[in-house]
Chains A and B, each alone.
Chain A
Amino acid sequence: MRTVLPALAAVASALTAPLFLGPYGHYLLCMAAIYAMVALSLGLLLGLGGQISIGHAGFWAVGAYGSAILVQKLALPFLLSLLASGLLAGLVGLLVALPALRVRGHYLAIATLGFSLVIVHILYEWDGLTGGRQGMFVSRPSLFGHELGSDFQAYYLILAVLALFVWIVVNLRRSLGGLSLSALRLSDVAAQSCGVNRAGATLFVFALSAAITGVSGAFYGAILGQLSTDSFTLVVSLSFLTMAIVGGLNSVVGALLGGIFLAYAPEVLRAFEQWQMFIYGALLVAFMHFLPDGLASLPRRLARIGRRGDA
C-alpha cells in the first residue's frame, strides 16, 4: 500500500496535469517526459550497471536525426521511426560499449565523450542528409496517420512510451539479470565467478540505455519541430548526468523527478542564464556529497531524521 498509493497519485497527476495548463505548460510537460526517458536510461547504465557515459547527447542525436530523416526522406510513419531510432541508437550503443569492455571510470567517460563529439560532427558535416549548419525541419509526431498537432496530444503519446520504458526498467531491476548487473558493478571478479558474462551484460546495458535515449531523441526533434547540432553538445550530456543524479539513479521515481527537474530548472533559472551550467555543476557536487541517492531518497531521509528527532 505504501508504494501503491503514491504511484497512483503520480499517474493521476501525470494524466490530468495538462488539463490545468496552457500550450507552454504542455510543451514543458512533453520535455519533462522526454528528459525522464534519458534519466531512466542513465539510471540503468550508471546506477545499475556502474558504467559512466558523458556521451548520451550523442545517442540522443542519433535518435533525433534518425527518426527525422526516416520520416522526412523515406516517409516512414512516426511510430515506426520511433522503433527504428531506438534500434539504431542501440546499435551505436553496442559500438560505444566496446571500449567499456576494456576500460572504465575516467577512461570510459572520455571514450563516450569522444564518441558523442564524433557523432555530432558527422551529423554537422553530412549536409545532404541533415541540413548541416542550417539544420532540418521535423514533422510533428503522428499516430496511425493522424498528426498530433498540439503538444497536448503529443504529451499522451510520449507519456505512454515513457510508461512502457518504466515498465521494462522495473521488470529488469526486479529480475536475476538486474541482480547480475548490480553484482557486476560491485565486484566483477565475483560476478564472473558466479557465471555472469561480463562482456555480454555490458554490451546489453549500454545498448538498452542508448536505445531508450534514442527514442527520447526522436520525440525531442518532433516536439521541437527542427533540429540543429547545437542541441547535442557536451553541455547537454552533462545536464543529463546532472538531472539523473539530482533525481536519483537507483529508482524510477528518481528518473521521473530528474526529468521534471531538467524541464523546469531553466524556467526557474532564467534570470541567471549565464550561470546555469555553474548552478548545475554546484548541484551535481552537492547532491553527490549530501544526497547521493537524489531527490527520490528525500522522503526516506526525512523520515529517518524525524525518527531521530522523536527519540
Chain B
Amino acid sequence: MPEALTVRRLSLAFSGLRAVDDLSFEVCEGSVCGLIGPNGAGKTTILNCLTRIATPDAGAVSVFGEDLLARPVHALAGLGVMRTFQNLELFSELTALDNVAMGCAAGHRAGWAAELLGLPAARRAREIAYARAEETLAALGLQAVGDRVVADLPFGTQKSVELARALVARPRLLMMDEPAAGMNTAESAALGRAIRDLARERGMTILLVEHDMGLVMSACDRIVVVVQGRRIAEGTPQEIRADRQVIEAYLGQAAA
C-alpha cells in the first residue's frame, strides 16, 4: 500500500535538549499507527512537527507525496490532515455545533467579499458546513448537545466534540493526541473499535499518540516506540510486546 505519511530524519532541539532526534518512520495509507513512549519522550513535539505547529531543525515530512514542511499550518486541512489535541483546543465560548462546523468551514468559505455582502454563495457555504456538522455530531451520538456552549460540557463530551471537529473535514490522515486520556476501560475499548472502523471502512490513515496500552495494542496495525526523541523499535503489536528494549524502556515501567 502507498505511504500516507513519511517522516525522514526529523530532529528538533530546544536549547540543547533533543526533543526529536533523527526520527524516521512511515505510515501506510488506510492503516493505524501507534506512536508510544514514556512521559517526556517527545511524542507531542513530534505531532506538533507533523502538523506544522512546531518547525523541526532538520528532516523531511511528506503527506500523500506532498512536502509538508514547505506549507504553512493552515494549508494542512486542505491536504486532508486533521488533528486532535492532548489538552483540548476547543473554541470554548462557541456551541458544540459551531465548533464542529469550524472543522469544515475553511473548505467551504465563499471569501470575505461575499461574506460582507451576504451573497447567496456565503449563505449556502454556511448552510452546507452546518449541515455537515449536524450529520457528524449525530453520527457520534452528540446531536443533543449541538446548541450547548462547549465549555459547559463534561470533559469526555468535549473530547468527542473535538473528534467530531476533526472528522467533519473527512480527513485522509487523522492524528490523535492521547484520545483515551481520562476514559475508563469500556470507553477506551469503544474508542478502539471506532478507530479501527475509520481505517477499515473509510480508508482513513490514523496516527495515534497514546498512553493506554490496551487501546494501542488492539487498535494499531503498527507501532513506533520513541524514547528521548529517538525511535527504539517499530513493528506490529506482537513484535513490540516481545521487544526486550521496549519492555525495559517503557512497558517494564508500566507493568511494575
Within 8 A of B (CB), among A172-212: 172, 174-180, 182-183, 186-187, 189-198, 204, 208
Q: Are A196 and B91 in contact (CB under 8 A)?
A: no
The reply to whether the CB of A168 lies closer than 8 angstroms to some CB of chain B is yes
Within 8 A of A (CB), among B19-38: none
The reply to whether the CB of A171 lies closer than 8 angstroms to some CB of chain B is yes
Q: Are B94 and A186 in contact (CB under 8 A)?
A: yes
**With contact pairs A195-B106, A195-B107 given, residues A190 and B101 touching in the complex (Cβ less than 8 Å):** no
Which residues of chain A are near B111, meaning CB under 8 Å? Answer: 177
Which residues of chain A are near B89, meaning CB under 8 Å? Answer: 187, 189-190, 193
Q: Are B106 and A187 in contact (CB under 8 A)?
A: no
The reply to whether the CB of B93 lies closer than 8 angstroms to some CB of chain A is yes
Q: Are B102 and A171 in contact (CB under 8 A)?
A: no
The reply to whether the CB of B85 lies closer than 8 angstroms to some CB of chain A is yes
Q: Are A179 and B105 in contact (CB under 8 A)?
A: yes
Produce 1/0 per residue, B209-243, CB < 8 A to A.
00000000000000000000000000000000000
Report, as a range, how many residues of chain B touch the other chain. 35 or more
Question: From DSSP, what is the main secondary structure of chain B's interface residues?
Answer: helix
Nearest A residue to B98 via CB reads A179
Partner of A180, one of B85, B106, B118, B123: B106
Q: Are A197 and B74 in contact (CB under 8 A)?
A: yes
**Could you count the A-B residue pairs with CB atoms below 8 Å apart for me: how many are there?**
109
> A276 to B76, alpha carbons, bound, how many Å?
51
Q: Are A186 and B92 in contact (CB under 8 A)?
A: yes
Which residues of chain B are near A183, meaning CB under 8 Å? Answer: 91, 94, 102, 105
**With contact pairs A168-B117, A190-B89, A197-B74 given, residues A177 and B112 touching in the complex (Cβ less than 8 Å):** yes
Q: Are B91 and A186 in contact (CB under 8 A)?
A: yes
Nearest A residue to B108 via CB reads A176
Q: Are B93 and A186 in contact (CB under 8 A)?
A: yes
Within 8 A of A (CB), among B88-147: 89-94, 98, 101-103, 105-112, 115-118, 122-123, 125-126, 129
Partner of B112, one of A193, A194, A204: A204
**With contact pairs A176-B129, A180-B106, A186-B92 given, residues A193 and B77 touching in the complex (Cβ less than 8 Å):** yes
Q: Are A195 and B74 in contact (CB under 8 A)?
A: yes
Which residues of chain B are near A208, meaning CB under 8 Å? Answer: 116
Q: Are B165 and A194 in contact (CB under 8 A)?
A: yes
Q: Are B125 and A176 in contact (CB under 8 A)?
A: yes
Which residues of chain B are near A198, meaning CB under 8 Å? Answer: 74
Which residues of chain B are near A178, meaning CB under 8 Å? Answer: 115
Q: Are B92 and A195 in contact (CB under 8 A)?
A: no
A interface size (C-beta, 8 A)? 28
**With contact pairs A179-B98, A193-B82 given, residues A172 and B115 touching in the complex (Cβ less than 8 Å):** yes
With both chains docked as a complex, state the minimum distance between the C-beta of B240 and any C-beta of chain A, in angstroms: 29
The reply to whether the CB of B254 lies closer than 8 angstroms to some CB of chain A is no
Produce 1/0 per residue, A129-164, CB < 8 A to B.
000000000000000000000000000000000000
> A97 to B88, alpha carbons, bound, how many Å?
29
Nearest B residue to A169 via CB reads B116
With both chains docked as a complex, state the minimum distance between the C-beta of B167 and any C-beta of chain A, in angstroms: 12
Partner of B74, one of A175, A176, A192: A192
> A204 to B115, alpha carbons, bound, how many Å?
12
With both chains docked as a complex, state the minimum distance between the C-beta of A202 and any C-beta of chain B, in angstroms: 12
Q: Are B105 and A193 in contact (CB under 8 A)?
A: no
The reply to whether the CB of B172 lies closer than 8 angstroms to some CB of chain A is no
Which residues of chain A are near B109, meaning CB under 8 Å? Answer: 176-177, 180
Nearest A residue to B126 via CB reads A176
**With contact pairs A183-B102, A192-B73 given, residues A175 and B122 touching in the complex (Cβ less than 8 Å):** yes
Within 8 A of B (CB), among A84-115: none
With both chains docked as a complex, state the minimum distance between the C-beta of B97 and any C-beta of chain A, in angstroms: 11
With both chains docked as a complex, state the minimum distance between the C-beta of B180 and any C-beta of chain A, in angstroms: 20
> A193 to B162, alpha carbons, bound, how many Å?
12
Q: Are A168 and B116 in contact (CB under 8 A)?
A: yes
Nearest A residue to B73 via CB reads A192
Nearest A residue to B129 via CB reads A176
Which residues of chain B are near A177, meaning CB under 8 Å? Answer: 109, 111-112, 115, 122
Q: Are A195 and B115 in contact (CB under 8 A)?
A: no
With both chains docked as a complex, state the minimum distance between the C-beta of B87 and any C-beta of chain A, in angstroms: 11
Nearest A residue to B91 via CB reads A186
The reply to whether the CB of B78 lies closer than 8 angstroms to some CB of chain A is yes
With both chains docked as a complex, state the minimum distance between the C-beta of B197 and any C-beta of chain A, in angstroms: 23
**7 sample A-B contacts, Cβ–Cβ < 8 Å, listed by A number:** A176-B115, A179-B98, A183-B102, A186-B93, A193-B82, A195-B107, A196-B74
If A168-B118, A189-B85, A194-B169 are given as contacts, then 10 extra A-B residue pairs at C-beta distance below 8 Å, sorted by A number, are: A172-B116, A175-B126, A176-B110, A178-B115, A182-B94, A187-B91, A192-B73, A194-B77, A195-B75, A195-B105
Q: Which 6 A/B pairs are nearest by Cβ-Cβ distance?
A: A195-B106, A195-B77, A171-B118, A175-B115, A190-B89, A186-B91
Binding site for B on A (CB under 8 A): 167-168, 170-172, 174-180, 182-183, 186-187, 189-198, 204, 208
